[in-house]
Structure 1
Amino acid sequence: MHRSRINGILIDCHSEDIDAAARFWADALGRPVDPDHPGTRGNYRMLATPPGEISVQIQRVDHESRIHLDIETDDIPAEVERLEKLGATIDTQMARWVVMRAPTGQRFCVVRVQRDGFADDANSWDQTAGTDRHSSF
């Protein structure tokens, strides 16, 4: 058995000025940039995350601007396998995460656990006998 849940929304910005992009999204979403968050570094800026809410990260990218989501899990290979059974495909295998593509074309990432409260509200997946059995919370 493994667990997963949505971790956050990532706003991919094809921009030279990641700070200006982060300021726009901070003002638009009413969440200030969190300069002390470990995820604020290099090409990444984290917005403040109220307790119990999903994270929002702004990242500078070389591809077109878009928005994608991250699914966090305590077992990346098991979650990737589960999502492949649902029709997703692996787009890019990174060192610490996997970029996947939904059957309808959207990219998303499977990442290690990032946010507090994972044990309290993640979905549980039992992949015994080749089928997923879901139990929430």
Structure 2
Amino acid sequence: MSGPRWLTGFLDSPSRVAEPFWSAVTGSGLSARRGPGGEFATLLPGGGDAYLRVQVVGDGPARCHLDLHVEDVAAQARRVVGLGASVVLSDGELVVLRSPAGLLFCLVPWRGEAVRPAGGRGLVDQMCLDVPRAVFDGEADFWAAVTGWERRPGSLPEFDFLVRPDGMPLRLLLQRVGGDGAGMHLDLACDDRAAEVARHVELGAAVAWTGPRWTTLRDPAGRPYCVTDRPVTGP
């Protein structure tokens, strides 16, 4: 059975305060709102298929999760549970699960998405899974099995990554972190990090940390994310 045909990164927030920021950063429009309380919307790129969405969750802190678009939600849910996930919610159309390390993700129907949007000066192109060192190897193996993507060591010892198929909009990076809690954050590739960071700050972000290869910022909702030196046209 094949893995996901498409990935969507979700920005989960207590309010809509960061939505104009992410629309501006990505150069995307915002779709009509969906859900009983209008909690969902899609960031619509200028070309290609959408792969970023926003959700008002009503509690904090602001965070991220992944949707995996699959051909058969029920069958994939059974497979993923067999790999170590636990079901949080199933409503027939989608299944919400928790990974062995505690990361929330969803299985949703694939609707034919296939065209990765092109980047401009910057491109949201990676979801980083921040995993405590004590459970890192098991969690990395879990995601490799769920996706069917090869696990490889990163350029720094704290990172591994999964080799995404051509055309997939989001790469998956796994980072060894301290503490007991796992989380996710988005990363952007860019051609000029200093200029891209300055653009984000002008739009409302705040710099949290700057290193030799990436800068960590917080969006207007306080959600951490990174602008990296990885090229926009990279794999």
What are the residue-to-residue correspondences of 1:1-137 with 2, within 5 Å?
Answer: 3-34=121-152, 39=154, 42-53=157-168, 54-63=170-179, 64-114=181-231, 116=233
Identify unmatched segments of 5+ residues in structure 1.
119-137
Structure 1 vs Structure 2 CA RMSD: 2.1
Q: Distance in 2 between matches of 1:28 and 1:97?
A: 28
Would you say how many aligned residue pairs link Structure 1 and Structure 2? 114
Corresponding letter in the other structure for 1:78: A
The secondary structure found in structure 2 opposite 1:10 is: strand
Identify unmatched segments of 5+ residues in structure 2.
1-119
Q: Is the 8 Å Cα contact of residues 216 and 225 (structure 2) preserved in structure 1?
A: yes
CA displacement at 1:44 relative to structure 2: 1.4
CA displacement at 1:43 relative to structure 2: 2.1
Corresponding letter in the other structure for 1:66: G
TM-score by length of 1: 0.73
- Higher RCO (CA 8 Å, separation ≥ 6 residues): 1
CA displacement at 1:86 relative to structure 2: 1.3
Cα deviation, 1:94-121, whole Å, max 9, x if unaligned, reads 1221000011111000001346458xxx
Identity score, percent: 32
The secondary structure found in structure 2 opposite 1:34 is: strand
Distance 1:87 1:41, change over 3 A: closer
CA displacement at 1:27 relative to structure 2: 1.8
The secondary structure found in structure 1 opposite 2:166 is: coil
Q: Distance in 2 between matches of 1:114 and 1:25?
A: 24
Q: Distance in 1 between matches of 2:130 and 2:234?
A: 26
Q: Is the 8 Å Cα contact of residues 10 and 68 (structure 1) preserved in structure 2?
A: yes
TM-score by length of 2: 0.44
CA displacement at 1:40 relative to structure 2: 5.9
